Structure 1
Amino acid sequence: MSLHPLNKLIERHKKGTPVGIYSVCSANPFVLKAAMLQAQKDQSLLLIEATSNQVDQFGGYTGMRPEDFKTMTLELAAENNYDPQGLILGGDHLGPNRWTKLSASRAMDYAREQIAAYVKAGFSKIHLDATMPLQNDATDSAGRLPVETIAQRTAELCAVAEQTYRQSDQLFPPPVYIVGSDVPIPGGAQEALNQIHITEVKEVQQTIDHVRRAFEKNGLEAAYERVCAVVVQPGVEFADQIVFEYAPDRAAALKDFIESHSQLVYEAHSTDYQTAPLLRQMVKDHFAILKVGPALTFALREAIFALAFMEKELLPLHRALKPSAILETLDQTMDKNPAYWQKHYGGTKEEVRFAQRFSLSDRIRYYWPFPKVQKALRQLLKNLQQISIPLTLVSQFMPEEYQRIRQGTLTNDPQALILNKIQSVLKQYAEATQIQNSLTFTQNQNSLAMERL
């Protein structure tokens, strides 16, 4: 069985070539289509991940099980003429964190089912996250589980993944694993933080040592060889209206430490909204897997709002068109279904409305799948497709896209404008990770390996 593409990529990184990969953490079809277009353009691997709260054996908040998510992704690939040979599906924060109010025994049973469903569906990058305390768990004064408990539960979940893979058709390489967690509950920071705790080297060393021993204890030595990254907090985060930027000097100890581990790099979460130079520096400092999600749906929201502003200007000139009322529909839907934002936004009614629409936390992303919002969005796109959007309006509301239209590299079509807006973010990640042509590289490596056999 050939090496997993991530192993090959990390092997290049560890040999001195500062490459990495970005992980698209979204179930939004516009985001996934934009990611496929970018990967196609770059001839690169494409890593798409579902989180444990989005997708699980019961459906998650998207209503999708792992098999459903895979089917949706492959259908999008077929619709957009994207060859999925470079596609890697991953599962993020897989473990018992969705069932923290249950007993450890019951929560871990659910977590095992979750892991099995992901691996059976063909997800091959598995983040094993057993860091959340469960009902009646003993914790320290900071509410954290003992590292020994985390490591043992991590090994138990890995054993399920390995068994499920052995029982599968094995048409893809064995799973690679990510361990550790030093991020907020999946879905983003719950409040603006005054200070970010950067993971200390001793904490990383403890995680690595205890996970390795737990794997050995459970007969998972071969699986440990496929542990390729550790999740740490390098000091990057975002909240409602603030971005905590990466400071290389503050993460220098982490950078130096991981250089002595031949198979490991770091996985950095919440890298959204970091500047392009800082993203590139993170990869050079061995944060070789960059997770991004809200920044992509934030770009989607910016594009749809821009189209709505254009529609508003055009409606008086085209009275036969039915107004989409997309912004009003979003407001009403969020007000009637506050579960996805009410713990994140506070203040006056006006402040809450502003945050609902413009917060970097982008809780609005949870509302795009709602039927009424989808109907309004379809109407908006239909309206703007029926008329030719004046370039003066495109220039006013989407100046980058205007320039590309003028240069002949972008079609003046509302969906194309949305996709380009999202791709402008993805392009920064592609350049930061130097992922371009990675598909060709991994294919060549496979060919060389076959020749040696």
Structure 2
Amino acid sequence: MLSEHKAGRAVGICSVCSAHPLVIKAALSHALRIGSDVLIESTSNQVNQDGGYTGMRPVDFRRLVLDLANQAGLAPERVVLGGDHLGPNCWQGLPAEEAMIKSEELIRQYVEAGFAKIHLDCSMSCADDPVPLSDEVVAGRAARLCRVAEEAWRRVEGEPPVYIVGTEVPVPGGATEDLAELEVTSPEAAVATIEAHHESFKALGLEEAWPRVVGLVVQPGVEFDHHKVVDYQPEAALALSRRIEDYPFMVFEAHSTDYQFDTNLKRLVQDHFAILKVGPGVTFAMREALWALDAIEQELFAENASGLRSIVLEEMNIEPKYWKSYYSSEGGALLLDKQYSLSDRVRYYWSRPNVVKAMEVMQRNFEQRTPPLTMVSQYLPGQYSAVRSGEITFGVESVVIHKVQEVLSQYATACVE
């Protein structure tokens, strides 16, 4: 893809950043249907040597994805695994050297598990660091982690990893403040980031790895806060877009492209933002489908309904750490934020035991009684059409997967010329 893009074709790839099995199933079956490869990434807070918030180490995540690919009938060589924001992100409260030692182990486990795309992100300040860090410090730490990755790859052999450097602003997962507009990364800042990393790689004898630094994360002017999307404005990113043409093996990686219009996604690819990441956008679609199914279930099954939506909200109140620092609202506004914020903090609660049990009850209910198509049309019009045409049969899993694939289809269209 990178070779074709640098040769002048407006092609790209979507990076699906989610650890939820239903989202992964949706991505795998979508790739099978359209005949493409699929790039699935986990973040350092989702999957790490301590289990992350999913309870999975890198080898566990790889096993999950490849098992699901086998079930879907997708050949394993068509699945690319990536690690996102790999660095001190999870250990910012520690002194820098302690955090970097943990980061080295993180990188080692990702590469040894077969992750082929590694985002080296050391942009965050640790407990004894100044704020912000200089380009030289960030690049020096990234090169240190790259050396670990190269050593790990040579031990396990196989295809050498490719690397992504740089980071976006605001923080991963959506802005916490109300956004009006964003400052696009300046061409000068992008070049400074690239050159600082190049010098750090040379200083550690990593010149052989440097051509495999295939992507730079910048801010192209796309973001979302709780209830608003900042749309891509091509003219604002024009100078930045042209500057990457000076680097024959490198494209931009755009984070937080969730919720952009189809035309914006296509233009991003045309403007050399050839790697488009989506995360909360796909789990938001999953939550939309499950809330709609909950509404149908309440009408059909009354007191025997799973109460999924209520149970999720109850679990969010029991364990507020995944949303508390994101939402400053109160009362009814807080209830809306917890459910409908574009940052989708609900995604942290699907694996909790009470939520899993409620999902199982919902599945059993709909296995026993299929709702009339008129009800499906009321709450899930896109899935109504798919059921009516015979594209899918009605069920919790098939409805959720189809809803997620509506999002993935936008990216697939944007990534072909």
- TM-score per shorter chain, which class? over 0.9
Q: CA deviation at 1:371?
A: 0.5
> Residue 441 of structure 1 aligns with which residue?
none
**Separation in structure 2 between the aligned mates of residue 421 and residue 112 of structure 1, nearest angstrom:** 38
> Is 1:357 the counterpart of 2:339 in the alignment?
yes
Residue number among 63, 76, 81 corresponding to 1:84 in the alignment: 76
1:314 to partner: Cα distance: 0.8
User: What pairs with 1:285-296 in structure 2 (closer than 5 Å)?
Assistant: 285-296=271-282
Task: State how far apart, in whole Å, the 2-side matches of 1:181 and 1:371 are.
Answer: 34
Residues 370-389 of structure 1: pairs in structure 2 closer than 5 A: 370-389=352-371
How many angstroms does 1:359 deviate by? 1.2
The aligned residue for residue 114 of structure 1 is: 106
Map 1:238-277 onto structure 2 (within 5 A).
Answer: 238-277=224-263
CA distance in 2, matches of 1:197, 1:114: 32
Go from structure 1 to structure 2 and tell me whether the alpha carbon gap of 1:97 and 1:414 turns closer, same or farther (over 3 Å shift): closer
Correspondence for 1:310 among 292, 296, 300: 296
Structure 2 counterpart of 1:37, one-letter code: S
Runs of 5+ consecutive residues of structure 2 not aligned to the other structure: none
Distance between the aligned counterparts of 1:210 and 1:261, measured in 2? 14
How far does the alpha carbon of each residue in 1:223-272 deviate from its partner, in whole angstroms, 9 at most, with x for none?
A: 00101010000010011100000000000011111112111100000000
Question: Which residue in the other structure is 2:398 paired with?
Answer: 416
Q: How does 1:389-400 map onto structure 2 within 5 Å?
A: 389-400=371-382
Which of these residues, 402, 409, 416, is aligned with residue 384 of structure 2?
402
CA deviation map 1:356-400 (0-9, x unaligned): 111111100101010000100111111011112210111111111
What is the SS of the residue equivalent to 1:274? coil
Matching residue's letter, 2:170? P
TM-score (norm 1): 0.90
Identical-pair percentage: 46
Q: Which SS does the other structure have where 2:124 is aligned? A: coil
Give the CA deviation at 1:346: 2.4
Q: Separation in 2 of the partners of 1:357 and 1:182? A: 25
SS at match of 2:49: coil
Equivalent residue, structure 1, for 2:135? 147
2:275 and 2:178 map into 1 onto residues whose CA distance is 24
User: C-alpha root-mean-square deviation of aligned residues, in Å?
Assistant: 1.2
Stretches of 4+ aligned residues off by more than 4 angstroms: none
The answer to whether the 8 A contact 2:83-2:117 is kept is yes
Matched, 1:219 2:205: yes
User: Shift of residue 185 of structure 1?
Assistant: 3.2
Matched, 1:283 2:269: yes
CA distance in 2, matches of 1:228, 1:279: 20
* 3-state SS, counterpart of residue 38 of structure 1: helix
Structure 1 counterpart of 2:146, one-letter code: C
- Return the match for 2:155 from 167, 173, 180: 167
1:193 aligns with 2:179: yes
Distance 1:21 1:343 in 2: 32
Query: Once the two structures are superposed, what CA deviation does each residue of 1:178-224 show, in whole Å capped at 9, x if it has no partner?
Result: 00112333333222234422111111111111111111111101100
The alignment status of 1:337 with 2:310, answered yes or no, reads no
The 2-side partners of 1:261 and 1:220 are apart by 18
Offset at residue 79 of structure 1 (A): 2.5
Q: CA deviation at 1:343?
A: 1.1
Q: Which moved more, 1:126-135 or 1:22-31?
A: 126-135
1:124 aligns with 2:116: yes
Mean Cα deviation higher: 277-286 or 404-413: 404-413
Amino acid at match of 2:89: N
Inter-partner Cα distance in structure 1 for 2:267 and 2:171: 26
Do the aligned residues in 1 keep the contact of 2:14 with 2:415 (CA within 8 Å)? yes
Contact 1:183 1:269 in 2 (8 A): no
The answer to whether the Cα contact below 8 Å between 1:45 and 1:87 also exists between their aligned partners in 2 is yes
For residues 261 and 372 of structure 1, the distance between their equivalents in structure 2, rounded to whole angstroms, comes to 51
Distance 2:317 2:30 in 1: 35
TM-score by length of 2: 0.98
Match of 2:314, SS state, is helix
Cα displacement (A) at 1:135? 2.3
1:101 aligns with 2:93: yes
Is 1:301 equivalent to 2:283 in the alignment?
Answer: no
Q: CA separation in 2, counterparts of 1:112 and 1:119?
A: 11
8 Å contact 1:52–1:92 — kept in the other structure?
yes
Distance in 1 of aligned mates of 2:306 and 2:122: 44
Where in structure 2 are the equivalents of 1:430-441 lying within 5 Å? 430-434=412-416
Provide the C-alpha distance between the structure 2 equivalents of 1:260 and 1:79, rounded to a whole number of angstroms: 43
2:8 is aligned, of 16, 19, 29, to 16
The question of whether the paired residues in 2 share the 8 Å contact of 1:53 and 1:186 is answered with no
The match for 1:46 is 38
State the alpha-carbon separation in 1 of the partners of residues 108 and 269 from structure 2. Answer: 31
Q: Tell me the SS of whatever aligns to 1:304.
A: helix
Q: Tell me, in whole angstroms, the C-alpha distance in 1 between the residues paired with 2:132 and 2:188.
A: 16
**Residue in structure 2 matched with residue 449 of structure 1 by the alignment:** none
Q: Deviations for 1:116-145, whole angstroms, at most 9, x for unmatched residues?
A: 01001000100000111122223xxxx321
Counterpart of 1:362 in structure 2: which amino acid? Answer: D
Deviation string, structure 1 residues 95-118 (Cα, Å, up to 9, x no partner): 112212211211111110110010
C-alpha separation in 1, matches of 2:187 and 2:82? 26
* Distance in 2, Cα, partners of 1:366 & 1:191: 20
Partners of 1:177 and 1:228 within 8 A in 2: yes
